Amino acid sequence: MFNKVLVANRGAVAARVLRALRVLGIRSVAVYSEADAGLRYLADADETYSIGASEPKASYLNQEVLMQVLSRSGADGVHPGYGFLSESAEFAQRVNAAGARFIGPSPKWIEAMGHKTRARDLMSRHGLSMAPSSGLLDGRTDAALEAARILGYPVLVKPAAGGGGIGMVGARDESELIKAIEKARSLAERSFCSTELYLENLMLKPRHIEFQVLADRYGNIRHLFERDCSVQRRYQKVIEESPAPLISRTTVEKAANDIVKVLGKLPYDVIGTVETLYEKGTDFRFLEMNTRLQVEHAVTEEITGIDLVVAQIRLAAGERLDSVLPAAIPNNGHAIEARIYAEDPVRFYPSPGILKTFRLAPGLEIRTETGYSEGDEITSHYDPLIVKVIAHGHNRDNAIDRMLAALDATVIEGIKHNIPFVQRVLRSEQFRSGHVHTGLGMEVAGPVSKSAR
């Protein structure tokens, strides 16, 4: 087991990892940028280090300064959280080469799955169904137009590196595609330092279903069921839940077992999530694999009772899967997570500022994950996530009711936030009935009114 772990991240996920380290009795090292110097969760770490300016490239994406902290602190493990360097094979290799251990999959799997077209090729060779797509675009507009004509419109332009919906742009015709390529290329270069793009057939109203897996270093792998992440805005998740509504358990279990068989052949290790698109009457189509802890991991924790962060750390330390997970994994009740962002609830633009009032409502089977306290500043330098609210109930309706009660009693002042949007979705007939799809969020949001522009 680790003696001391460096948490190479910030905010809610850093606070979450620090809590897991305390459970395991492992000493912790936290880092912070200039913008985050006053955040109160830092007091939960045994040691803290300043890593520079607020801009991510100068701090949380700065491998040199993080490696210096690793050396100075004497940590023997690095937990990357999610985002930033969590899916950097280069960083994982550097950590391992320094004599510490990266708390995540082996670098070869981070590299293999981090490039989306190569990951698709790998998983396709092992029998997983794929949505129709192009190969890598070579940078010529005429080649992209030809690829789109072969696929058929609408298409989705996607960065080959990175994830989280960043840089994904839809196009319904040639004129939109030309603009979409420029926008996607710019976002991909800024976010992932790569301009590689590809096209994918755009399914208009699919379900976005992901499967959580845990594995050890000895070839053993298991799934911990699925999460439905269909409620999104601009290709980014807002509400996640488990189990997925209106899909038979037989169908879901078959897909999960197929994924485990493929990953077991590789063999994959530690933690990962396979993301798929699903339409009734079709296969689950492989979308991508995230080689890290997911933002929405708490949904799975609530229905299984398994602490995924603790499990991830133990598996990375070399423990066997059968010592980390119970023989039979529980699947109890229903869990829903809502991501509360500092953003305009109509146009979804970021709304940085001071959390003048920040009161989270406690409630039965309600859990919150945040890196902020009242009086803290939400800056423009990072993702505008304020807090994740997770509700667990004995069934789906019960979980929805508990979530709505918690959101109704939550008070956030000083910035705009998306709670009104989340409440509209949760109260909509479509969501209540379980008829969710990736376009539901924007359907419920409706068009931007003139007064909101």
Positions of E strands within 314-379: 334-341, 353-354, 357-359, 366-370, 377-378
| Cα separation, 285 vs 276, whole angstroms | 5
> Per DSSP, what are the bridge partners of residue 391?
336, 366
> Per DSSP, what are the bridge partners of residue 387?
340, 370
- Name the packing angle between helices 308-316 and 11-24 (round to 10°): 70
Report the run of H or E that residue 370 belongs to, with start and end.
Answer: strand 366-370
Nearest to 127 by CA among 30, 304, 255, 290: 255
| Cα separation, 321 vs 268, whole angstroms | 13
| Contact status, residue 159 vs residue 184, Cβ threshold 8 Å | yes
| Cα separation, 270 vs 265, whole angstroms | 14
3-state class (DSSP) for residue 144: helix
| Cα separation, 196 vs 161, whole angstroms | 7
| Cα separation, 374 vs 212, whole angstroms | 33
β-pairing verdict for 4-7 and 27-32: parallel
Residue type, position 346, single letter: V
| Cα separation, 438 vs 205, whole angstroms | 6
> Per DSSP, what are the bridge partners of residue 227?
210
Q: Which of 120, 285, 292, 396 is catalytic?
A: 292
3-state class (DSSP) for residue 21: helix
Nearest to 33 by CA among 63, 14, 10, 12: 10
| Cα separation, 320 vs 8, whole angstroms | 25
| Cα separation, 165 vs 179, whole angstroms | 18
* DSSP calls for 203-254: -SS-EEEEEEEEE-TTS-EEEEEEEEEEEEETTEEEEEEESPTTS-HHHHHH
Quick check: is 292 catalytic?
yes
3-state class (DSSP) for residue 275: strand
Active site residue ranges: 292
